[in-house]
Every structure is written in structure tokens, then in C-alpha cells.
Amino acid sequence: MIDEIIERIVQFFSTGLVEKIIKAFLVLCDRFVNFILSLCEGNNYKKKDETVDVLYTSGNFLVINKKHDLLINSNDTKKKTVQTIMRKQFPEYVQDNLTHDFYFAHRLDFATSGILCIPLNKNACKEVCQVFEEQRARKYYLALLRGHTDFDEEVIDIAIGKPSGGSPMASALRNASLTIQSSVTGEDVRFKDTSKKMCTILEEERCQNPRRSITKVLVLDRGYYNGKPVTKVLLRPITGRRHQLRLHCAQIGHVIVGDYTYSLKIDTSPPRMFLHAFRLVLPNTIENLDIQTDDPFTEKALKYKWKVVEQVNSIANAFDIIDSF
């Protein structure tokens, strides 16, 4: 009896019927998937639109937490920017009379994440622009720097000029023990593909109209990122020049982790540049603003690739300390 059953099973599998059944089943599955997709398309199914992270909103201001590697706006409407995302997310705030739809009163670099304040009307925009022009805004950034600094707090005074030429930035960056000194900067024409790179006055004839630029630096922690020495700092720019924080950090021999431009295209392994606009204080007659984000550079946030071995200053006390010197 058992032998007969086994013989019939063998005959069944040898007839090719099983193969036909499997092929028929796969065809049915394919048709079913296509049917479901057609239903979704018929119902105008779309992938969920990307949105900006809103930190604060009122009748006068919208404050967002910009993602890294994201342009604020562009003349190319096909590019993903803060402008194109907000246009879908907040159509009620679009200003039809503006080329880029919104009042972008201040900027963040493409690679920099963090607080971006967007006035929602003309009067609010005028107020914000005046606050920045008069240097009454207080901006605080978090950054991870290559190497361990030999100071806990410092004021960097390096003048920055209008883009006009080149300088031996490479030699400055190779000297990790470069001392803080006053100098002037301009654009380095040898690195135009890395976006408006600035450089020092070591080649004086290549710099025009230098303006004094000041950045305060306060060390928070020293540790290791992916096994390499790194210092976590709070930065407060007193002035606002293009690439000021990135250039100033490079000039003292501690390039920001992941800064492709100022590492001379060497620092390519990190997933981003570790510079974040952490807190923004905007005193104004319409509505005083004091906005702060979460810290994106904690050990947990960086999946423990960043390990603290020495805490120098806590964030809780850091703002008062950096404002005092």
C-alpha cells in the first residue's frame, strides 16, 4: 500500500503538472499586483510628499528646521528645495509677487542644517532684515571639528573679503597646529566646482574689500568619531560672512567633519557636514523670537559613531559662557 502511494506521488511530480501549476500561480499573482496598482493610480495615489519640520509658527513668522544637503531656493524649479517643499506644504503662505514665493530673509548653506526663520509678510521681513543688518541677531551653531583643540574657548578674528581670487589654502589646512591670526579672504578660483570657496590673504593681491569677521568658539566635548579625534563645539558668529564658520574653523586647523570643500575634497566618508544652526534669537518690535532645536550630534543621534571621552562644558551653561567672552 505504501509502495503504491509513493509510486503515484512520483508519477504526479514527473508529469510536469506541478510546473504548470506554479507558472499559472505566478501569472495570477502578476495580474493581481497589476490590478492593485491600476486601482491606486485610478485613485490618484501618490507617494507622501516631503515636508519641512516646523519649530514655530505665528501670523508673522514660520521657523523651520532645515535638513542638511538642501537648497533654500533655486531658479531651477525641478530641484528639491525648501521653497518647492513649502510651496506644497503651505500654499497659503506663498507670495505671488516674489520670485521665490517666500520671504527668505537669511540663509543657510546647502550642507548646513538647522533653524531657518521665514517672515510671512513684508513688515516682518523688514524687521528681520534690519535685525541681521544691525548684528542684533544671536546665532549659535553646533559643529564637530577634526582633531582635539588645545583651547576650551577662543575668539577667531579673520577678515573675509569678496570673492576675487585664490590663495594657498591647501598649505594652511595641512598645518593642523595653525595658530589663530588675523587675515583676509577671497574666493579661490581653483575650487569653483566646490561652490564659492573662500581663502586667506596669503596671496594678498587676490583678495578685495576685506571685512572684519569674528567667531566665538566654545568647546563642549572631546572624543572620537569613527575612531578619529574630534571636538564638539558651540559656535557664535558675531558677524555674518559667506562660509564664515567653515573657513574660520579650517583656518585654526580644525576643519568641520564632513566639509568636502574646506578639507580639499578629502573628508568624504561622513554622511554629511556636521554643522547645525542650533539656536536663533531675534529681538524685534513685532514678535521676539528665541528658537532652539534638539541636538543632532549626540552619541545616540549619531548611532554611537561619536564617543565622548571628555566633557568640557554642558549645553545648559554654554550659551551664557560664550556670550560672556
Going by the DSSP 8-state scheme, the letter that residue 297 receives in this structure is T
Q: What span, in angstroms and rounded, lies between the C-alpha atoms of 50 and 44?
A: 17
Kindly report the backbone phi and psi dihedral angles of residue 250, in degrees, each rounded to the nearest multiple of 5, phi listed first: -65, -40
Q: For 17-22, which contacts have Cβ atoms below 8 Å and span 24 or more sequence positions?
A: none
CB atoms near residue 321 (< 10 Å): 15
DSSP β-bridge partners for residue 65: 53, 115
d(CA 309, CA 307): 6
End-to-end CA distance of the chain: 96
Q: Distances from the Cα of 31 to the Cαs of 37, 84, 102, in angstroms?
A: 10, 37, 46
Catalytic option among 53, 96, 101, 109: 109
DSSP letter string, 193-259: GGSS-EEEGGGGGG-EEEE--EEEEEEEEEEEETTEEEEEEEEEESS--TTHHHHHHHHTT-PBTT-
267 is catalytic: no
In this structure, what DSSP letter does residue 50 have? P
Q: Active-site positions?
A: 109
